[in-house]
Structure 1
C-alpha cells in the first residue's frame, strides 16, 4: 500500500509540474508587445481624435443638460414656469412643447419662435420617430432625443462654453511602452451577453464578442468585451481608481484580431475617462464585476480634476 501511495504522489507531482510548465510556456504569448516605428505619431493622432470627441460642437464636454420627458406635453424654455428649464438666457421663457406620444417626440414652437434643422427653420416637426433622432438648434444650443430603456430624454449641448474652448486635455500618466501589451482573444458563444449597469441603475444584458487575456508582471488577467462597430469596447476598473484615476473606472477600445489570428493589442496608454467623470448629464456604463481588476494600471488618463463629475 505504501508503494501505491508513493506512486500516486509522484504522479500528482509530475502532473502539477507539467501543468505549471505548460502554463509558463503558453503565457509567453502575452506580455509587452513591440511598438510600431511611428508609435508616438500614432498616439498623437489618437489623442487629437480624443480631444475632438470632447470639444466639438456636440462633444461630451459641451453637454449642458439632460431632461427626461413625461408622456404627453412637456413645456420648455428659460423661465421657471415650464416643465423643462434650459440653462440659457437667449431662449424665451416659454419656447414651446416637447410632445411625447407612444415612443415618438414632436416639437411644437411657441408663438414667435422658430427652431433650426439642417439648413432650414421650422415651428413644428417630429424630431424622434422611435429610431432616428434629429439634431435641433437654437442659437448656441443644440439638442436631440435619446432613449435609455424605458426612459426618453433630451440631451442638450451648449456650443458657447469658454471653459471648454480653453481645455487642453486631462492630466495623464506619461506614455509608457510597458503598457502596450499582447492580448489573446477568446470568442464568446453565439448570443452570449454580459450584464452591464449604468449610472441610472439600469441593468442591461449586452452582447459580448468574447474576452481578452493579458499579462502584468507574469500574472494573467481577463476582461470581458462589448461589441463595437470597428473595435471591441472594454469597461475597466483597477486599483488606481482608489487613488489617482476616476473612481468608477475607465474605458478603452481595442482592435479585433486579424482574420486567422487569436491575438490583438491592448494599449492601456489609451485608457480614458468616461463622460460621467467630467459631466453630470451622461448615462455612463460601469465596469461589470469581472472587469474590476485586482491590479494597478498606472497608464492613460487620470481623474478629471476641476470638472463637475459623478463622485
Structure 2
C-alpha cells in the first residue's frame, strides 16, 4: 500500500472515529444514564425520575403526582400512564424536562433508565483512545450461514442476567497466520452482522468484557470484510448502568488485536 493510500485509510478512520465519539457524547446517550431501575409489581419512586413506577402482565406503568408530567409522543402526560408490553431488547423514550426516561425490557425484566445531560459521567468524558489505524487489521473473511439460526444464550455485565440472540452463522478468516472464526449475530440493518469478541489485549489495553465489530452484508459468495480498526466499546465500558451482552462461547481470539478502541479514559 502506498503512503497516499495509507494516509487516506487513516483519514477515513479518523472521520469515522470522530463521528462515533460525537454520537457517544449525545446529551441523552448512554453516558447520560444516571440509574438502572428494575421494575417489580410494587410501585417504586426513583430519585432521578418523576412518578411511581411498577410493572405487570400489561407492561410498565407510571403514576405521576400533582405537578409532575412526562412527554410521551410529543404530548404531555399527567396522572397514570401505561406503556403496554415492551418486547425484549425494545424500549420507548419519554421526555422529562431536560432529561429523557428510557423504559425498556432487558433479560425478561422491565427497567427504567433516566438520562440527564448534566450527568458527571457525560460531562467528564475525555474521549476514547484507540490504536492508530493500520490496514493490516482489515481482513477478508467468509460467512458460513447455519442451516437455521441458532438461539444463543450469552451472559451480561449485570450478574445473573442473560441475553438470547439468534446467531445466523459464523465468520471464518485468517489473521497473524492463524485460522480463526467468530459466531455472528444479526446487525441493525438488513443483511448486516455484528460480532462480540475478546482477545489477548482484553483487560490489558482494551476493555476486559467485550468489544463489538459491525460487518457489512456478505456478497453473493459469502465474502465479508472485518475491519478491526473499527472495533468499538459497548456502553458497559463507560457506565455501570448498562446491560451489555458478553461474547458467546468461542469468540475469544487467541491473538492480540492491537486495533480499534482501547479502555476509556477515566
> TM-score, structure 2 length as denominator?
0.87
1:282 counterpart SS class: coil
2:250 counterpart SS class: helix
- The correspondence of residues 87-236 of structure 1 with structure 2, limited to 5 A, is 95-131=50-86, 133-161=91-119, 164-165=122-123, 167=125, 169-200=127-158, 201-230=160-189, 231-236=192-197
1:164 counterpart SS class: helix
Q: Deviations over 1:209-256 (max 9, x none)?
A: 211112122211110011123221111110001421111121111112
Q: Distance in 2 between matches of 1:268 and 1:178?
A: 9
Q: Distance in 2 between matches of 1:149 and 1:168?
A: 31
Q: Deviations over 1:186-224 (max 9, x none)?
A: 111213232311123333442112111121222111100
* Contact residue 237 and residue 291 of structure 1 kept, 8 A: yes
Q: Deviations over 1:262-305 (max 9, x none)?
A: 11110000011111111000001011220011111000111113
Q: Distance in 2 between matches of 1:134 and 1:289?
A: 31
Among candidates 241, 247, 269, match of residue 208 of structure 2? 247
Q: Mark the structure with the bigger radius of gyration.
A: 1
Q: Distance in 1 between matches of 2:15 and 2:9?
A: 10
- The correspondence of residues 73-92 of structure 1 with structure 2, limited to 5 A, is 73-74=43-44, 76=45, 84-86=46-48
Name the CA shift for 1:129/1:209 in 2 (closer, same or farther; >3 Å): same
Indicate the larger mover: 203-212 or 151-160: 203-212
Q: 1:133 Cα shift?
A: 4.1
Output the aligned Cα RMSD: 2.3
| Equivalent in the alignment of 1:21 | none
Q: Distance in 2 between matches of 1:248 and 1:232?
A: 20
Q: Distance in 2 between matches of 1:127 and 1:270?
A: 40
Larger RCO (CA under 8 A, 6+ residues apart): 2
Among candidates 30, 34, 37, match of residue 67 of structure 1? 37
Q: Which runs of 5+ in 2 are unaligned?
A: none
